[in-house]
Amino acid sequence: MSTTLEAPSLRRPGHLFIGGTWQAPADGGGIDVMAPFNEQVFARVGEAGRADIDAAVAAARRAFDEGPWPRLRPAERAAKLLEVAAQMEKRAEDLASAYTNQVGMPHRIAQMSGGGAIALVRYFAGLGETFPFEDVRPCPQGGIAVVVREPVGVAVCIAPWNAPLHTMLLKVIPALLAGCAVIAKPSPETPIDALILAECIEAVGLPEGVFSVVTAGRDVSDYLMRHESVDKVSFTGSTTVGRHIASVCGERMTRFTMELGGKSAAIVLDDISVPDAVAAMMPHIVLLAGQQCAALSRVLVSRKRRNELVEAMAAAMRHVPVGDPYDAATLMGPLIAQRQLDRVNGYIAQGTREGARLVTGGGRPRGLERGFFIEPTLFTDAENSMVFCREEIFGPVAAVITYDDEEQAIRIANDSPYGLSGGIFTQDKERAYAIARRVRTGNITQNGRIIDFTLPYGGFKLSGLGREGGPEGLDAFTEVKTVFLPTPPAHLTAAS
């Protein structure tokens, strides 16, 4: 891994995109961006201070209160979003390199996921035609009611570093379609995608103030989400920070959506072959070096099949190619930073201390001296009550826990402060569905783990509040207004 990375091709490096123009940070701040696989600082972006936040919020407020964007028809906003998708298509390679260089995502997977990001923008643009922005209903007291979904206002979109483009687009695009003015706040580890997105939006010319990007650290981000002119905070990140933001928003009734952490269970039933279960499960443990909110980190298996499953999982983990994300053979890159490596190592030590047995992994892969790499790691003899089975590790670490019968498997799956995702590994769709209905989690899949931006995604319990993706993800950026009239207005009569 001796390759020296080039700086990303940004139009105005070191600048913030505020109110439709590129501006140098008022106090001259900057953030170094490091590639986690070779520890090279390959970019420096601007760091917003409070004055920059005030400027971005003021521009967004003006755009929302006085500008044309919220008053356009949804189809007109959708047309602009399709232009943004076309711009992103031109920048596909820049976006893929940004993903690889910032996160260490294997480049061929980063390239494929770029197509998904563009499809996401087009999908939401399509909702401009079909979403019930104005819904005429009969009123029992006479006349009709138009149930209108209006934009929620100035929306702050805060994203984490693990999938920086997708997590940001899932907020920014529906917010723009709804008619909001948007301030995007990417993670300081991964700001490049949002800046490229700003260039794409600049190229299509949205009205002034409708979209800003402020790259900022924790304190200034805190200042932003507390700003009294903000109407909605859409947050994806850790449960710790999410709880803090939700409590601040709750005090002021600022609307919020929380996409937080997880500790999801894979329930392996006896009717599926172990090799089939392992093949279907493994990507959801090791991809992104396990830094997936929906990682299947607790693997539940019947006592009698435990040894067979553990052996097969361990063999599969030992064969995962870990290393240079630009090597076409690599499936798993590094963790994001030294502090994440320390955190994962801490949980591995904790699992051992608590009495679980380390089967494979737990160390630095041989031959990878630089970068924040860790081996895929498997524990068995784990108990669901152990701390490392209750807290989110956010690394490629799975714990095998045994159950005696299906009832106990469901109880263990539900015995978690989180409820984000899950998998049921079986040949029997009836059993899979029956179990799925009893697991308290936001999404669950038979024989794998699907996340799809056309369908709602989000968490029960400490995994969050609200949903992203699908029409529900657009609804999250609207307020409902009910207008009573004797008969529908002309434009709605004509449409029906």
Q: Which residues bind ligand NAD (CB under 6 A)?
A: 158-163, 167, 185, 187-188, 218, 221-222, 225, 236-238, 241, 244-245, 259-262, 293, 392, 394, 420, 459, 464
In 3D space, the residue among 362, 380, 357 whose CA is nearest the CA of residue 306 turns out to be 380
Confirm if 309 and 275 have CB atoms less than 8 A apart.
no
Cα–Cα distances in angstroms (integers) from residue 270 to residues 121, 309, 400, in the given order:
41, 11, 15
Least Å distance, CB 226 to ligand NAD, is 8
Residue among 141 and 247 whose Cβ is closer to ligand NAD: 247
Q: Which of 259, 375, 391, 392 is catalytic?
A: 259
Confirm if 335 and 372 have CB atoms less than 8 A apart.
yes
DSSP string, 222-241: HHHHH-TT--EEEEES-HHH
Residue among 248 and 279 whose Cβ is closer to ligand NAD: 248
Residue among 236 and 416 whose Cβ is closer to ligand NAD: 236
Give the separation between CA 300 and CA 265, rounded to whole angstroms.
Answer: 7
Q: Which of 293, 375, 389, 391 is catalytic?
A: 293
Least Å distance, CB 339 to ligand NAD, is 9
Least Å distance, CB 71 to ligand NAD, is 30
Q: Name residue 476's beta-bridge partners.
A: none
Residue among 218 and 437 whose Cβ is closer to ligand NAD: 218
Q: Which residue's CB comes closest to ligand NAD?
A: 237
Active-site residue 259, yes or no?
Answer: yes
Our CA angle for 191, 194, 195, nearest 5°, is 85
Residue linked to tokens 């919220």: 70
In 3D space, the residue among 287, 234, 307, 212 whose CA is nearest the CA of residue 20 turns out to be 212
Give the separation between CA 211 and CA 22, rounded to whole angstroms.
Answer: 12
Give the separation between CA 355 and CA 90, rounded to whole angstroms.
Answer: 52
Least Å distance, CB 206 to ligand NAD, is 23
Residues 474, 259, 169, 254, Cα dihedral to 10°: 60
Least Å distance, CB 119 to ligand NAD, is 18
Least Å distance, CB 179 to ligand NAD, is 24
Least Å distance, CB 260 to ligand NAD, is 5
Angle between helices 92-103 and 164-178 (to 10 degrees): 130
When computed from its CA atoms, the radius of gyration of the chain, rounded to whole angstroms, is 23
Least Å distance, CB 56 to ligand NAD, is 14
- In single-letter form, the type of residue at position 332 comes to M
Q: Name residue 134's beta-bridge partners.
A: 148
CB neighbour list of residue 261: distance below 8 Å, 6 or more residues apart: 238, 239, 293, 392, 394, 418, 420, 462, 463
Residue among 16 and 225 whose Cβ is closer to ligand NAD: 225
Pairing of strands 255-259, 464-465: antiparallel
Residue among 69 and 460 whose Cβ is closer to ligand NAD: 460
Residue among 19 and 160 whose Cβ is closer to ligand NAD: 160
In 3D space, the residue among 236, 296, 286 whose CA is nearest the CA of residue 264 turns out to be 296
Active-site residue 293, yes or no?
Answer: yes
Q: Three-class SS of residue 301? A: strand
Least Å distance, CB 359 to ligand NAD, is 24
Residue among 375 and 468 whose Cβ is closer to ligand NAD: 468
Residue among 102 and 478 whose Cβ is closer to ligand NAD: 102
Burial 451-469, CB ≥16 within 10 A → b, else e: bebeebbbbbbbbbbbbbb
- Which of the residues are catalytic? 259, 293
